Amino acid sequence: MQAEDPSHPAPPPLGALLDDLEELVTCESYSADHAAVARSARVVADQGTRLLGARPRTLEIGGVTHLQWSFGTPRVLLLGHHDTVWPVGTLKTHPFSVREGVARGPGVFDMKAGLVQMFHALSLLPSLDGVSVLVTGDEEVGSDTSRALIEDTARACRAALVLEASATGGALKTARKGVSHYEITVHGRAAHSGLEPQKGVNAATELGHHLLALRDITDAVNARTGPGTTITPTVLSAGTTTNTVPARARLHIDARVPTPAAQTAVDDLLKDLVPHHPEARIEVAGGPNRPPLDAASSLSLFALAADIGDRIGIGPLRQTAVGGASDGNYTAGVGCPTLDGLGAVGDGAHADHEHVVTAEMPPRTRLLAHLVGALL
């Protein structure tokens, strides 16, 4: 193992990282609770200010609070989010804890440990000139208010490093599927289900035809554009009372696609749906949310990270493709080379067993510091 690069001091002790992790995790930040997100932003801003030596711009867009640091002319974007999927009050049942090398708590893995590692990594650099840091507050709900900010920032940079949690075993994420969301609404006609059901147009039955058709649409897209597309029906509702023919039915759909061509094909086929019943009416709302993150966008950055990992003795690094999306999809989508999964090592995003392997925090912090330094 080679000697430590004097331009990158040793990372802080684990205790300092865990103290800062506790500070972020114990400030709950449920995406749908804008007041909680604003409180979290203040805590994140104070922690970043202490470690980076500068206060961020606080940007409130559509009621959601985002944070941005810029040093000189931005060349490297570090991207993360401080919102979580956990409602306020989750700390009562999932308190922050560190036992036997494992940290637990709401949002600890996705992705507050990544924010802590990012701030500490940047604090190791002799200069932050060229660094842009963006911490958004609505990633978990689609980044509707922050997308333009992310894309505009990424267009000005030559690399984006995403502090989302790593994949299984600490693998970096070099490809992500794109995401599309749809809502199908069927309009029928109500009638008494006992006295004269024949006078109704059953929206639930009509929707059932389209629900089954999703399998054929998935097969058609995969045959046309290559394998990997999934179209998943998620939330379904119909009717008002048990003795009434449903006049309305709704279905939410989550589509995951490996390529832009597949995303376009899904959109075309879903929006071409026509009613089976001549008196029913169908509406299809929604469309693409995040474009795919193609592996080509990560190729050179992963090679650089792998070389650094070997050089500083924390390799070999692994890479993988995942079905989940992140704001890295947006940065790659505007042509900015992107490497994702540089955050925590652990498991259980959005699940009760969410956790971080604490021993991996210092080496991941060190890796990020070297990677940013090399890119600058």
Strand partners, 359: none
Domain boundary (290, 319, 349) is at: 290
Same domain, 277 and 353: no
CA-to-CA distance for 289 and 325, rounded, in angstroms?
Answer: 10
pLDDT band at 9 (very low <50, low <70, confident <90, very high): low
Instruction: Report the share of the chain in percent with pLDDT over 90.
Output: 96
pLDDT band at 326 (very low <50, low <70, confident <90, very high): very high
pLDDT value at residue 10? 75
Strand partners, 131: 76
Mean pLDDT of all residues in the chain? 96
What average pLDDT does range 111-140 have in this prediction?
A: 98
83 is catalytic: yes
pLDDT value at residue 12? 83
Same domain, 48 and 173: yes
Strand partners, 320: 173
Looking at 20, 22, 28, 83, which residue is catalytic?
A: 83
Contact indicator for 341, 166 with CB cutoff of 8 Å? yes
The number of domains in the chain is 2
Task: Report the chain's C-alpha Rg in angstroms.
Answer: 23
pLDDT for 208-255, tens place per residue? 999 999 999 999 999 999 999 999 999 999 999 999 999 999 999 999
pLDDT value at residue 3? 37
User: What's 243's domain CATH number?
Assistant: 3.30.70.360
What single letter denotes the amino acid at residue 333? G
What average pLDDT does range 292-303 have in this prediction?
A: 96
Same domain, 25 and 148: yes
283 is catalytic: no
Same domain, 301 and 241: no
CA-to-CA distance for 275 and 283, rounded, in angstroms?
Answer: 10
pLDDT value at residue 116? 98
Contact indicator for 265, 234 with CB cutoff of 8 Å? no
Same domain, 154 and 55: yes
Same domain, 227 and 371: no
pLDDT for 162-215, tens place per residue? 999 999 999 999 999 999 999 999 999 999 999 999 999 999 999 999 999 999
What average pLDDT does range 1-18 have in this prediction?
A: 69
pLDDT value at residue 4? 46
302-340 core/surface letters (b: 16 or more CB in 10 A; e: else): bebbbebbeebebeebbbebbebbbbbbbbbbbebbbbb
Range of the domain at 344: 14-177+292-375
Same domain, 32 and 139: yes
Same domain, 302 and 173: yes
Give CA separation, 178 vs 68, 141, 292, 325, in Å: 25, 15, 4, 6
* DSSP label of 332: H
pLDDT at 7 over 60: no
Same domain, 245 and 351: no
Choose among 282, 304, 275, 366: nearest CA to 14.
366
Same domain, 189 and 151: no
Q: Tokens for 325, please give them.
A: 């999306």
The residue with tokens 């924390």 is: 314
Contact indicator for 151, 331 with CB cutoff of 8 Å? yes
pLDDT at 2 over 90: no
Domain boundary (254, 269, 290) is at: 290
Do the domain assignments include residue 310? yes
Choose among 106, 82, 88: nearest CA to 96.
106
pLDDT value at residue 11? 75
Looking at 22, 28, 138, 139, which residue is catalytic?
A: 139
pTM summary value = 0.90
pLDDT at 6 over 90: no
pLDDT value at residue 315? 81
Same domain, 33 and 114: yes
Do the domain assignments include residue 4? no
Angle at alpha carbon of residue 158, lines to 135 and 155, rounded to 5°: 65
pLDDT value at residue 342? 98
Give CA separation, 188 vs 156, 194, 236, 371, in Å: 50, 17, 16, 58
pLDDT for 55-100, tens place per residue? 999 999 999 999 999 999 999 999 999 999 999 999 999 999 999 9
What average pLDDT does range 323-350 have in this prediction?
A: 96
Do the domain assignments include residue 2? no
What average pLDDT does range 307-323 have in this prediction?
A: 94
Do the domain assignments include residue 203? yes
pLDDT value at residue 1? 30
CA-to-CA distance for 265 and 221, rounded, in angstroms?
Answer: 6
Same domain, 117 and 184: no
Give CA separation, 74 vs 7, 18, 133, 304, 321, in Å: 21, 29, 9, 20, 28
User: What's 341's domain CATH number?
Assistant: 3.40.630.10
